Structure 1
Amino acid sequence: MKKIAGMMLACLAGWGGVCAQSVYPGKFEGKFKVENSVPMAAECFDLSDVRLLPSRFRENMERDSAWMVSIEVNQLLHSFRTTAGVYAGREGGYMTVKKLGGWESLDCELRGHITGHLLSAYSLMYAATGGEVFRLKGDSLVSGLAEVQQTNGNGYLSAYPEELINRNIRGTSVWAPWYTLHKIFSGLIDQYLYADNRQALDVVKRMGDWAYAKLKPLSEETRRKMIRNEFGGINESFYNLYALTGDERYRWLARFFYHDEVIDPLKEGRDELGTKHTNTFIPKVLAEARNYELDGSEESRSLSKFFWNTMIDRHTFAPGCSSDKEHYFDPAQFSKHLSGYTGETCCTYNMLKLSRHLFCWDASSRVADYYERALYNHILGQQDPATGMVAYFLPLLSGSHKVYSTPDRSFWCCVGSGFESHAKYAEGIYYHNEEGVFVNLFIPSVLHWREKGITLRQETCFPESETTSLIVSVDSPTRAKLFLRYPLWSGKVEVKVNGKRIRVGQKPGSYITLDKEWREGDCVEVTYPMHFSLETTPDDSSRAALLYGPIVLAGELGTEGMQAPAPDSDPLKYNDYYTYNYHIPEGLPVSLKWDEKHPENSVKRISDSTLRFCTADGVTISPLYDVHRQRYVVYWNVELKTYSDEK
């Protein structure tokens, strides 16, 4: 793995540009036959227009790229070929392929989903870096899948036999076949959009034709019974395929998967999430968001916004994640669900996707605030910096720890979404409208706004530093606006343009607008003061997470009693992560004495270059995204007291 990482670092060193298209939701020039029918307050930049500068984000992306390149195409195609029977006559034969484990095992009904995720991830990484290796891997994978599809003969394409779909239609027990197909559909569409792979579009259209022939004859009773099973965001994929082709059959398929029992209450503004499976739910709303953009359905817009607000206000933990053992729970019992199985990463991955839709509709700073919270505290911290492996859950049980995947034996859904998430950090930093650029995230990066001839270089050490700088380059003097996010967590902001302080009339939770003619070398400096805050659970004011600005801080609790898995084991095969025993020792220091008037008396910073602090009881505190391979506490037992009054 280290050798591969070194090779990838060399490959990415140039960060060359490619002509990739813009990210969802947005316009891919010349590729969509059906354009968005509603106005957008903001649009996405092409992923190829943004390059990450050295930072923790780029380090994560480089580790992600090394891992995804290390997986052989023949390994990813193995189960597809085996099911279709296309191994006969191949040089080297069946036994030369090292089989993948976990959910990609030949006895798992979800096999093939990781191939779909990697189709997306290769194309995203190609757009984000210009690395030719990612395009070549994607091309080889699409070519192999096309061969399998041709062998099947009817357009069907999966790593499991079509009988699993038949079982779903009959209503008999099966894991989630349409969920896996959704990942393959999405991956092929992404290959076409981001890597310009025309064969991928041909393959996914044939898959759509097969699906239409399969589902069109079914009765309404059969449809309702069938969609009770998890189907991911297959309807979102069909909406996108409809937009690409203009073929009404694909829109019919998208609407076929409309889940009445789940979506109808949202239309009426009712939170009836109950104990439903969270990541089964979110993709269904993503499809409704896409329906609004294509069809202008105000019902779809309204329910999408209601759902997003309900999630943020009632069902989201401090790090921006949701779910306990993958399910919703009663918010009135919030503190009782701080378990070792909170925060399924796929849920956050999908909430960030939904947030991007909503931001494009309204350019809401509240949406951008959530995006930042979830990106830093969950997604960034999902990856173990020592190995590049990722966690399925973000445990919030005090004394628990992150449990990581293995390179080829634990291909869970959160491994797949992780491949994508760590490839596309650049997509949420900047947006634009006709007047100017929104600066949403404070991540070192370079933006090339080619249509306007403007380049922005953002230099910052945020969140270790409160200041970010934007250096402007222009082909010629150009008038445009800069919309600088003024986060809700910030104190009184300070803005300087070319060293001159600018009066700021806006308040936190808005955008600061700089409107001027920009010239070569202009520099904007923005300082966002950060403060401590406690975020209590809704049902217990004595249980609280500690934040510094938007960053969730975790108390480091050491490694006592932690179990080290055997080097070649698959410790969390299938569902074992649900019952993983953290062996939490007694007496861990999980209480926090808190001076409400003077937080500096409760927590002191012990490093100028990093966000490391120490409590009055001597517990070291760091950003949750930096706490790995040890136990931690996020939700403290808080003892509120004004210690300064006793002095």
Structure 2
Amino acid sequence: MSGATLPLAALPAAAHAVTGAMPLKAEPFPLSAVRLRPSDFAHAVEVNRAYLLRLEPDRLLHNFHAFAGLPTKAKVYGGWESDTIAGHTLGHYLSGLALTHAQIGCTDCAARAAYIIDELAACQAKNGDGYVAGFTRKRKDGTVVDGKEIFPEIMRGDIRSAGFDLNGCWVPLYNWHKMYTGLFDVIDHIGPNPKAMAIMTGLGGYIDRVFAALSDDQVQTVLACEHGGINESFAELHARTGDPRWLKLAERIYHKKVLVPLSEKRDELANIHANTQVPKLIGLARLYEITGEAKHATAARFFWEQVTRHHSYVIGGNADREYFTAADTTAQHITDQTCESCNTYNMLKLTRHLYAWQPDGALFDFYERAHLNHIMAHQEPVNGGFTYMMPLMTGTKRAYSAMEGEEFWCCVGTGMESHAKHGESIFWQGGDTLIVNLYIPADATWAARGAKLGLATGWPFEGEATLSFDALDKPGSFPVALRVPGFAKSTELFVNGKPVTAARAGGYAIVERRWKKGDTLTIRMPLELRMESAPGDAQTVAVLRGPLVLAGDLGRADGEWDQPDPAMVGTDLIAQFRPVAPEKAQFESHGLIRPGDLNFVPFYRQYDRRSAVYFKHFTDAQWQVEEAAFLKEQERQKDMLARSVDVMHLGEMQPERDHQLTSDISYPVSYRGRSGRDARTGGFFEFVMAVKPGPLILQATYWGDEGKRSFDILIDNQRIATQQLDRSRPGSFYDVEYSVPEALTRGKKQVKVRVVPHDGNTAGPVFGMRLFTAATAKTAAPTA
């Protein structure tokens, strides 16, 4: 079993020719040149098109109209669109419309995009200074106003910048990056649009004036707030206009704290927000393409290598609770909060940049892994909702945005884009070389050769794909390179049904000959089962077949999962699998799983099912010990239940209502299958709990990797404890017990428990509290 999450070959450190017959550089076919044949991918595009057309542009434009002083045409959406990040969805929506038009020729999408641009132009004209935005600002007194209010403050040097907040506004520069990307996508995928360019240059002037008022140190303070890939926006604006003003601004938006270490090949990613960083590196990649600045390429390459090899899960996603963990600790972070979908959306974008600089099959080994197993799982394939996280903890169901819901998370926005463009990376060209990188059934037009191409395949369920030249106006001799995934132990190639020997270079099988209309090139590869270990623990394994991650099927998501995690027990694990329906990649285990065998199916198709992806692997002797420990823990839990007086499930709506919870600057959280609640500086949360006579203990549960935090716990306004959190127990939840003075409960039926952070601190999160009677010698629980 491999100890690496992703079977990636080492990439060259600098841009130079790949040995063999692969070209120096490559570019993808235009999205509009590719049409998907029937498949799960084509279905995803159609479901997404229907989702996009259900949305109402005027509701997404509400704040833009209101803040420009124009009449609104529909009420604002809820969720994030009613928070201070309002407006971010509109940029994603423009991209989704443009990409869908390119992918399937959706004229309704093109018309909507044109309407939105007309409205944005009207809003910008009414503002009169280039400004156009939909985000809001929450003042210190709680009043919500136009987000434009923050920029005069920033220009005066009054900068209050934190991870996601800039002077009371949620990630305004990130928000603008989404708008720029949407406008560029309209131009690229629908057609030239002078109004879109005017919006971008006008807004760019406003943003440039803000940054021009700041010192370099003040710029770094601003950049401490998530700003997306706004550096990419201005690099791209420079590339299209030739105006050096935009290049200067793009280069000034350089977050030194994160980007300098990466340019020096230092991995300092642990405990920083993951998706905040990826777009910065995409921006550096674009700057490298424009300027040739080597340090930008170095940072982008090094970041990609570290994330894919040392910070990623088996499905290709990364991060836990949105944050990178220490390198090679994935096995300690298999939770219900893994793999934010935006992260993978952005990692695929970065991969395309790196591949264009220097084609290498290892890059698309990752791309296929993440695209197939994460992005394809990201969409609910009936109504088109999207997940925020892709939970890999056993038994956790996926939470999709509802068809009629108004969540509008960031991952809803990227979902609109991801499922509009499943054809974008199948076919590439480099010089006179035709490259096939993804085996997705499709037809394509190769303009350089006047060719009509067909790609017939049952991949990833069948290990064969056939490329056909259905038309070829310019026949001749040229290479065709088919990617050979790193997992493939062997390959067979056939031209017009006859075996041929192919050259091998850079992860590709390359056939060069004189091609003509009607020719076919077929590749066959075995799709074998294999195990892959999670970084950090060779005994934590996942099952794959070819490019597919397989999952143990635990039943419908609308049921309950309250069983122990299944484990694998044995030595030759693969030998204990049997095919059920190999054409659907379905298998079953025999005598392998404890407590009982499972059916294994493609993970991405488990949208309405509960799954087991990672399994602990034990020998028979090890399992004897593990089973005994589990039974001992069950005994301890039963004893605790018998002694409990009251239990507060923080972060869950009904228990909080039942316990009369009140709070301020406090938020529910969910992590590793547990709900909880925190309180930020100046806030609190308080609730009632039942009591009974006699000595009582209040128990609180915390996660052992929380950063330094300090807070008080009070009962009826009397402090009983001060709690410090400092990453003292990494990788696990733990309980802390506080003795409750009998004087505080005597003669009472209930008390108020209050949690208050110290200044500059967060309280918790607290993952539940329990009041129970002190143990006597007779009832003392066994040691866990």
Matches within 5 A, 1:579-618: 584-588=561-565, 590-593=566-569, 595-596=571-572, 599=574, 601-616=575-590, 617-618=596-597
Q: Report if aligned partners of 2:29, 2:425 keep a CA contact under 8 Å in 1.
A: no
**d(CA) in 2 for partners of 1:592 and 1:550?**
22
Aligned to 2:186: 191
Deviation of 1:535 (Å): 1.5
**d(CA) in 2 for partners of 1:486 and 1:315?**
24
Deviation of 1:237 (Å): 0.6
Q: Report if aligned partners of 2:432, 2:479 keep a CA contact under 8 Å in 1.
A: yes
Q: Report if aligned partners of 1:561, 1:585 keep a CA contact under 8 Å in 2.
A: no
TM-score (norm 2): 0.71
Aligned to 2:670: none
Instruction: Rate the CA distance shift 1:332–1:167 in 2: closer, same or farther, 3 A.
Output: farther
Instruction: Rate the CA distance shift 1:165–1:428 in 2: closer, same or farther, 3 A.
Output: farther
Deviation of 1:277 (Å): 0.4
Q: Which has the higher contact order (CA 8 A, sep 6+)?
A: 1
Aligned to 2:57: 73
Residue type of the alignment partner of 1:603: F
Aligned to 2:418: 421
Deviation of 1:638 (Å): 1.9
Cα deviation 1:82-101 (Å, max 9, x = unaligned): 222201xxxxxx5x624311
Cα deviation 1:570-627 (Å, max 9, x = unaligned): xxxxxxxxxxxxx741335x2124553x72x321110143111111243111111111
User: Which runs of 5 or more structure 1 residues have no equivalent in the other structure?
Assistant: 1-38, 88-93, 563-582, 643-647
Helix, strand or coil: the match of 2:271? Answer: coil
Matches within 5 A, 1:611-630: 611-616=585-590, 617-630=596-609
Helix, strand or coil: the match of 2:389? Answer: coil
**d(CA) in 1 for partners of 2:513 and 2:334?**
49
Deviation of 1:45 (Å): 1.5
Superposed CA RMSD:
1.8
Residue type of the alignment partner of 1:619: L
Q: Report if aligned partners of 1:339, 1:395 keep a CA contact under 8 Å in 2.
A: yes
Residue type of the alignment partner of 2:109: F
**d(CA) in 1 for partners of 2:104 and 2:171?**
33
Helix, strand or coil: the match of 2:270? Answer: coil
Instruction: Rate the CA distance shift 1:52–1:478 in 2: closer, same or farther, 3 A.
Output: same
Cα deviation 1:291-337 (Å, max 9, x = unaligned): 11000111111121111111111101110000011101113542221
Q: Which runs of 4+ in 1 moved over 6 A?
A: none
Helix, strand or coil: the match of 2:445? Answer: strand
Aligned to 2:437: 440
Aligned to 2:113: 138
Q: Report if aligned partners of 2:387, 2:401 keep a CA contact under 8 Å in 1.
A: yes
2:117 counterpart of 1:147: no
Cα deviation 1:500-546 (Å, max 9, x = unaligned): 10124538x61111111111111111111111221212221111111
**d(CA) in 2 for partners of 1:521 and 1:503?**
20
Q: Report if aligned partners of 2:464, 2:524 keep a CA contact under 8 Å in 1.
A: yes
Matches within 5 A, 1:388-427: 388-407=384-403, 408-427=405-424
Aligned to 2:171: 176
Matches within 5 A, 1:96-495: 97-105=74-82, 108-160=83-135, 161=146, 162-166=148-152, 170-172=158-160, 173-174=167-168, 175-196=170-191, 197-407=193-403, 408-472=405-469, 473-495=471-493
Aligned to 2:750: none
Aligned to 1:4: none
Moved more, 55-64 or 386-395: 386-395
Q: Report if aligned partners of 1:543, 1:636 keep a CA contact under 8 Å in 2.
A: yes
Residue type of the alignment partner of 2:61: L
**d(CA) in 2 for partners of 1:595 and 1:377?**
27
Match of 2:42 among 58, 82, 86: 58
Deviation of 1:396 (Å): 1.0
**d(CA) in 2 for partners of 1:372 and 1:167?**
46
**d(CA) in 1 for partners of 2:563 and 2:153?**
48
Q: Report if aligned partners of 1:168, 1:229 keep a CA contact under 8 Å in 2.
A: no
Helix, strand or coil: the match of 1:209? Answer: helix
Deviation of 1:387 (Å): 2.0
Instruction: Rate the CA distance shift 1:346–1:153 in 2: closer, same or farther, 3 A.
Output: same
Instruction: Rate the CA distance shift 1:526–1:640 in 2: closer, same or farther, 3 A.
Output: farther
Residue type of the alignment partner of 1:52: L
Moved more, 473-482 or 537-546: 473-482
Match of 2:548 among 534, 545, 551: 551
Deviation of 1:166 (Å): 4.7
Instruction: Rate the CA distance shift 1:40–1:138 in 2: closer, same or farther, 3 A.
Output: farther
Instruction: Rate the CA distance shift 1:231–1:221 in 2: closer, same or farther, 3 A.
Output: same
Q: Report if aligned partners of 2:32, 2:189 keep a CA contact under 8 Å in 1.
A: no
Deviation of 1:413 (Å): 0.5
Structure with greater proportional helix content: 1
Larger radius of gyration: 2
**d(CA) in 1 for partners of 2:151 and 2:571?**
59
Moved more, 286-295 or 120-129: 120-129
Residue type of the alignment partner of 1:292: Y
Q: Report if aligned partners of 2:386, 2:400 keep a CA contact under 8 Å in 1.
A: yes
User: Which runs of 5 or more structure 2 residues have no equivalent in the other structure?
Assistant: 1-22, 136-145, 161-166, 591-595, 622-784
Residue type of the alignment partner of 1:459: A
Q: Report if aligned partners of 1:343, 1:394 keep a CA contact under 8 Å in 2.
A: yes
Cα deviation 1:396-417 (Å, max 9, x = unaligned): 1111111001234110000101
Deviation of 1:129 (Å): 1.5
**d(CA) in 1 for partners of 2:265 and 2:102?**
39
**d(CA) in 1 for partners of 2:337 and 2:56?**
31
**d(CA) in 2 for partners of 1:411 and 1:313?**
31
Deviation of 1:493 (Å): 0.4
Instruction: Rate the CA distance shift 1:298–1:640 in 2: closer, same or farther, 3 A.
Output: farther
Residue type of the alignment partner of 2:492: E
Cα deviation 1:434-462 (Å, max 9, x = unaligned): 12211000000112111211221001111
Helix, strand or coil: the match of 1:252? Answer: helix
Structure with greater proportional strand content: 2
Q: Report if aligned partners of 1:111, 1:159 keep a CA contact under 8 Å in 2.
A: yes
Helix, strand or coil: the match of 2:126? Answer: helix
Q: Report if aligned partners of 1:47, 1:128 keep a CA contact under 8 Å in 2.
A: yes
Match of 2:69 among 70, 85, 107: 85
Q: Report if aligned partners of 2:321, 2:338 keep a CA contact under 8 Å in 1.
A: yes
Deviation of 1:77 (Å): 0.9
Aligned to 1:30: none
Aligned to 1:34: none
Helix, strand or coil: the match of 1:606? Answer: strand
Q: Report if aligned partners of 1:560, 1:585 keep a CA contact under 8 Å in 2.
A: no
**d(CA) in 1 for partners of 2:571 and 2:108?**
54
